[in-house]
Amino acid sequence: MWRMVAASRGASEARTALLAQMRRGAVEHCVLALLRRDERYGFEIAHILAEADGLVTSEGTIYPLLSRLRRDGLVETTWRESESGPRRRYYRLPPTGRRALEVFPHEWTRFRDSVDQLLETTT
């Protein structure tokens, strides 16, 4: 796939596209994991993800993701006044989000191991 993508674009552009594809499936569950113990607001979530290597993401990516997670019932929200500006929407993990998060590590490990095995046996 890398070669197919790289052939149609510059190497740097292809690498960026590849990372974006891999990130899409994982970031959703990283957000759920951030909400496992504490409620957080969107900018805080974006900031934590931006500090994690390989998960660089913008607020423009996080807010649509949070909206989709809310629509899907995987997060719940409340509005709170802020001491330093406008009200903030806080996100928390309801039981449905907790169940989705519980399943992810097993499936992620299985997926990662399959990819690793194919990469090791084909090189």
In a domain, 33, yes or no: yes
Look at the chain and report how many structural domains it folds into: 1
In a domain, 4, yes or no: no
In a domain, 55, yes or no: yes
The runs of H, that is alpha helices, within 35-81 are 42-51, 59-71
Mean pLDDT by groups of 10 residues along the chain of 123 residues: 54 77 83 96 91 76 93 96 91 97 91 90 71
Report pLDDT for 21: 76
Range of the domain at 48: 25-121
CA separation for the pair 45, 16 (Å, rounded): 22
Instruction: Supply the Cα-derived Rg of the chain in whole angstroms.
Output: 17
Report pLDDT for 85: 86
List residues bridging with 79 in a β-sheet: 89
pTM of this structure: 0.78
Residue 118, CA atoms < 13 Å, CB-side half-sphere: 5
Report pLDDT for 95: 97
CATH number where 92 lies: 1.10.10.10
